Structure 1
Amino acid sequence: MKKLYEYAETWDGLLALVTDGVPEGPHLDFKRDAYSDSRKPLEKREADKEELRRDATAFANGGGGLLLIGIAEDGQGRACSVPGIENAAAHENNMRDVLSRSIDPPFTKSALRVRTVFDPQNATKGVVVVEIGESKVGFPHAVQGKSDAPLDFWIRTDKSKRRMTYLQVRASFQADEVQAAQQRLDSMALVEIRKLKYAIRSASWDFGKMVPLLEPLRIYVADLNFGPPVHSEVISAAGEVISAPRAGLTPEAARAAVDIIDEALPVYSLVGRAPEPPSDDDVALFRQASDYGWGLVYDGVKYLNSLPVISTGARLLGRLLRYCYLNEVKEVQDEVLEHFERARQVAKERRREHAIKVLDFFQHDALDDREGPPVPMPDGLEWVILGRDVPNKKKRPQKRRPRQR
């Protein structure tokens, strides 16, 4: 399935809304008919203008969204046809004019885009696309009433809009203060993390000293009060262990670093899609972690010839691939798949057959639909996939001593 904004780029994209069965949601709304149609009575047209402003400000206060006029929906809120609207260009101009008035604060040019995607078979008919950006922190949008009427604050939730409660409005105005406090908290944490990062880097070659320095980093990923910049710096600090000279990297050090990186990643299910798509910050953390996973599998194959190190890196890449596969983060998914393929090529050149089997397992497990039996572990390599340094030794049966007579 495409991203929402990709559907609204072309007429074929709009038709794909129907074939893909895309439903309305917190960031998408369909309207069959145009707002403020000239054939309606004046009173109804004025009410439509108010409704348009409410819809647009609700999207802005709810994180932004896409309003498509000329799309019909079925009883479950899914796009079912694209009839478009006649005289679409005139409606586009009218909507742009309506949304430029009686909204406080006014939409900026970057926060509001109104355009028309025309039907290639009819030059006057099309779908009017309204793209609404998220309200700036501390500046929620409101609809201005007539004369001394109070400002009217709306917010989009799921498939509908509703008036914001007093607490929601209050929190919106205080959001800039909250953001400033968050930045101060993150800044203090970043200073401490960078001290640890420097200490880890200074202990290079001595993994006995490096690994204990990772433990304090857990504080910053366990505390939910810290934001993405802190988590990114934690990943970078743990990555100092992986980035140390290749020759001496131990499986214990690799696992300790990856454990911290894994804890610093945003929490997503490994069995189902998240209710909301990953944010840009989440995607950035995925990409950052994938670089360290790639470094481990590459060094493990080419320089260390260490299955435990290869498996540790492949496990991290597999987890990232699973997140991206389930949540359709295509760009990172493709990068991780490329990491797996490049590592396999190096393993083939080095004739590391066991390494190829380990890489294949973690990739296939990440892309498994979970409906059938689990992906089988390669025979004889269960020990390394489960995170052990050496295979379990089978105990030889002891011979009984003959009884003394």
Structure 2
Amino acid sequence: MQELRKYIQDWDGLMALVVDGITEGAHLDFKRDAYSDPRKPQKNQDEDREELRRDAASFANNGGGVLLIGVDEDAQGRAGSIAGIPRPLEHESFVREVLSRFIEPPLTSLQVQTIFAPQDSTRGVVVVQIGEAEPGLPHAVQGKGDGPLDFWIRTDKSKRRMMYLQVRASFRIGDTTITQQSVDALAISEIHKIGYALDDAREEDESRSLELLEELRFYVSENRYGYKVQAEVIEAAGQALHYPRAGISAQVAEEAVNIIKAALPSFHMQVPSRRKITEEDLRLLQLAEMYGHALAYDGAKYLKDLSIISIGSRLMSKLLRISHLNGFDGIKESLLDEFERIREIAAERNLGDAVKVLDYLRDSAFEKAEGPYVPEPKGLEWAIFGWRKLRVQPPSKPRSLRKPKSPQASSSRTSRPRSK
């Protein structure tokens, strides 16, 4: 929250959102249009009011957040344009009125203000700052009439209903061991459903896969879950990556790998870890290695797609770095063998750029903090660091999801049993 304040003081600050490539997240949401539109049917207007209350309550239940009404986003969720909305003062009053009712307990920390466009005083951005809920008192949206209380929480870039045990834990300032185990058990049940749905959607529906991955991201955006949940998250994300040779889009692959990275145990990337390494830590690293290798291997051998090779090998490079720093010799040797095999395949198929990327990602895993540093291959920065980090597009359109080209390819697919 604190780091957002410099962007919401004046119009120049809002414009800096675009310049700095600020994205939506757990504490920031962009809304291009106003929540209210008198031209809509009354039913739709009521739904818009309900949506505003849910947005505000979800932020409050996740540490607070900022709604910027009149800011558009691009395809990557970054601030795209600052157009403002017409009659912003009217909408400011509307927001205050809507959020003053049907939220229990009432929001105690709410600031609403308008920042006017310097060249057009009839337009502006409505800034809504929602404070954090008090410990043990989560906020709920009151349904119509005798409707039940509806609890919501903000995840990385979206909101979702809180599960029963999440609500229960939110009312308790100190969670007990039993509560933690119960929360984990219910989370695992939900993650299994997402994993099965990802398996069904993988070859047919890219947009559905991305929606499911966004749901899955919720379980790595909070710190309340334990090792078993992290392992299930990695396996569920792996369902989007299973059997890449059948066809996978670079966007789905990148989202799934980012979730896997977020589910890994926390390791310093410059010095050895000072904490005790557990068997659970090693298990998570091995799970991640399996999916990173599958992507890079199939990307080289079957797809001949540098986008897919680079996404998988970036994950492998991170795991190699962790293994090298912390003395995980078994994982380290396995990764080095995998890098060499994929490199040989890429060379056989005349994928020169892939060879350069693989060499760099392998060698840079052994860099010392003080150098010397492995030189980056020119023109391949997007493959080494990822398009989003560099805020550029890949040189070619990502491969669309498709079914296997032949019955033989389809029949060779095997289902990997999920852990219980």
Secondary structure, counterpart of 2:371 in structure 1:
coil
Look up the match of 2:241: 242
Look up the match of 2:218: 219
2:364, 2:301 → 1: CA distance? Answer: 24
2:206, 2:263 → 1: CA distance? Answer: 21
Contact residue 299 and residue 309 of structure 2 kept, 8 A? yes
Q: 1:390 aligns with which of 391, 394, 398?
A: 394
Secondary structure, counterpart of 1:278 in structure 2:
coil
- What 5-or-longer segments of structure 1 have no aligned partner? 1-176, 393-405
1:370, CA displacement in angstroms? Answer: 2.5
Look up the match of 2:133: none
Q: 1:201 aligns with which of 199, 202, 211?
A: 199
1:179, CA displacement in angstroms? Answer: 4.3
Letter of the 1:314 counterpart: S
Q: 2:180 aligns with which of 179, 182, 186?
A: 182
Look up the match of 1:258: 257
Contact residue 347 and residue 353 of structure 1 kept, 8 A? yes
Contact residue 307 and residue 383 of structure 2 kept, 8 A? yes
Contact residue 194 and residue 212 of structure 2 kept, 8 A? yes
1:286, CA displacement in angstroms? Answer: 0.2
1:347, 1:291 → 2: CA distance? Answer: 19
Structure 2 matches for 1:77-116, cutoff 5 A?
Answer: none
2:367, 2:311 → 1: CA distance? Answer: 19
Contact residue 295 and residue 312 of structure 2 kept, 8 A? yes
Look up the match of 1:303: 302
Larger radius of gyration: 1
Look up the match of 1:347: 346
Look up the match of 1:232: 231
1:245, 1:282 → 2: CA distance? Answer: 26
1:208, 1:351 → 2: CA distance? Answer: 32
**Would the alpha carbon gap of residues 215 and 223 (structure 1) be closer, same or farther in structure 2, given more than 3 Å must change?**
same
Look up the match of 1:402: none
Secondary structure, counterpart of 2:223 in structure 1:
coil
1:365, 1:301 → 2: CA distance? Answer: 20
Contact residue 235 and residue 264 of structure 1 kept, 8 A? yes
Look up the match of 2:312: 313
Secondary structure, counterpart of 1:273 in structure 2:
coil
1:245, CA displacement in angstroms? Answer: 5.1
Look up the match of 2:189: 191
Letter of the 2:236 counterpart: A
Contact residue 231 and residue 263 of structure 2 kept, 8 A? yes
- What 5-or-longer segments of structure 2 have no aligned partner? 1-174, 388-392, 397-420
1:313, 1:304 → 2: CA distance? Answer: 13
Secondary structure, counterpart of 1:234 in structure 2:
helix
Letter of the 1:331 counterpart: G
1:191, CA displacement in angstroms? Answer: 0.5
- Alpha-carbon RMSD across the aligned residues, in angstroms, is 1.8
Look up the match of 1:362: 361
**Would the alpha carbon gap of residues 245 and 385 (structure 1) be closer, same or farther in structure 2, given more than 3 Å must change?**
closer
Secondary structure, counterpart of 1:331 in structure 2:
helix
Secondary structure, counterpart of 2:311 in structure 1:
helix
